[in-house]
Amino acid sequence: MNPAARNMPDDSGGRESSAPFRQGDEPADAVLRHAQGDTHAFAEVVTMYSSPIYGYLTRCGVHPAERDDLFQDILIKVHRAATEHPPTGPTRPWLLTIAVNTVRSHFRKLKVRRVMQFHADPAKSESAPTGTPESELSAQQTASWLEHEIEKLPLDLREVLVLCAIQGVDQKEVAATLDLPVSTVKTKLRRARLALADARCRRSLAAKREEQ
């Protein structure tokens, strides 16, 4: 569990939350108050956005061993940016841009590191067990398969899919965050969904062949 989340109210039954960036999550003027020296304001931002940021890292395929460090890096960047260059518009797209750029930079560095080391350390999926004992194994297998398929998508498709379909961010905000036209966001989202649908179809056909 990420460090900041340990101090947050837990309404998830003890499970790590990956709550989406929903509409209405704007923490009023907390970032601006933080920039003006309010010592309590940044805690409001952390409380509001810790879970969705951590969920974004998870769904984008950041390795479990690297999530906490990257999560802390994002919070530090938000803290500094809020003081030096506070947002002039809504907080959420501004903060999302920091998270997205940090993850992009992480994957670029990781790619260079893998080339230099001449091997890759593939990320592993995590899923919290839920439901009855009879359905738990199937649910875990499906969740792990889905996480793996999402991680296989190109980063540009993965970003749009995670933000729109999983984190619940409006397509216009995603477009602003990623500096893309809305039409491009829609195209990338459709391509990501089609890729997952195709993978699901191939998985189903393989399962049927095994049953024969």
Mind listing the pLDDT tens digit for each residue in 156-170? 999 998 888 878 888
| Count of CB atoms situated within 10 Å of the CB of 80 | 11
| Count of CB atoms situated within 10 Å of the CB of 75 | 21
DSSP state of 25: -
Q: Over the chain, what is the mean pLDDT? A: 75
Report the domain count for the chain.
Answer: 1
Q: Is residue 140 part of a domain?
A: yes
Q: Is the pLDDT of residue 172 over 70?
A: yes
Q: Is the pLDDT of residue 113 over 90?
A: no
Mind listing the pLDDT tens digit for each residue in 52-79? 899 899 888 888 889 999 999 999 999 8
DSSP collapsed to 3 states, 142-171: HHHHHHHHHHHCCHHHHHHHHHHHHCCCCH
Closest by CA to 47, choosing from 68, 65, 31, 70, is: 31
Q: What is the mean pLDDT of residues 109-117?
A: 53
Which residues are CB-neighbours of 33 under 8 A, at least 6 positions away? 41
Q: Is the pLDDT of residue 3 over 50?
A: no
Q: Which residues of 104-139 are buried (b: 16+ CB within 10 A; e: fewer)?
A: eebeeebeeeeeeeeeeeebebeeeeeeeeeeeeee
Q: Is residue 202 part of a domain?
A: yes
Q: What is the mean pLDDT of residues 3-18?
A: 39
pLDDT of residue 180: 93
Q: Is residue 12 part of a domain?
A: no
The answer to pTM > 0.75 is: no
pLDDT of residue 11: 35
Q: Is residue 120 part of a domain?
A: yes
Find the angle CA(191)-CA(189)-CA(173) to the nearest 5 degrees: 160
Q: Is the pLDDT of residue 100 over 60?
A: yes
Closest by CA to 44, choosing from 16, 14, 75, is: 75
Report how far residue 150's alpha carbon sits from residue 165's, in angstroms, rounded to the nearest whole number. Answer: 12
CATH number of the domain encompassing residue 35: 1.10.1740.10
Q: Is residue 180 part of a domain?
A: yes
Q: Is residue 67 part of a domain?
A: yes
Mind listing the pLDDT tens digit for each residue in 19-35? 566 555 455 478 888 88
| pLDDT band at 135; cut points 50, 70, 90 | low
Residue type, 57: L
Residue with the bigger pLDDT between 21 and 83: it is 83
Q: Which domain holds residue 84?
A: 17-211
Q: Is residue 147 part of a domain?
A: yes
Report how far residue 115's alpha carbon sits from residue 124's, in angstroms, rounded to the nearest whole number. Answer: 20
Q: Is the pLDDT of residue 189 over 90?
A: yes
- Helices 171-178, 91-117: crossing angle, 10 deg rounding: 50
Max CA separation in the chain (angstroms) = 68
Lowest mean pLDDT among 26-40, 113-127, 141-155: 113-127
Q: Is residue 1 part of a domain?
A: no
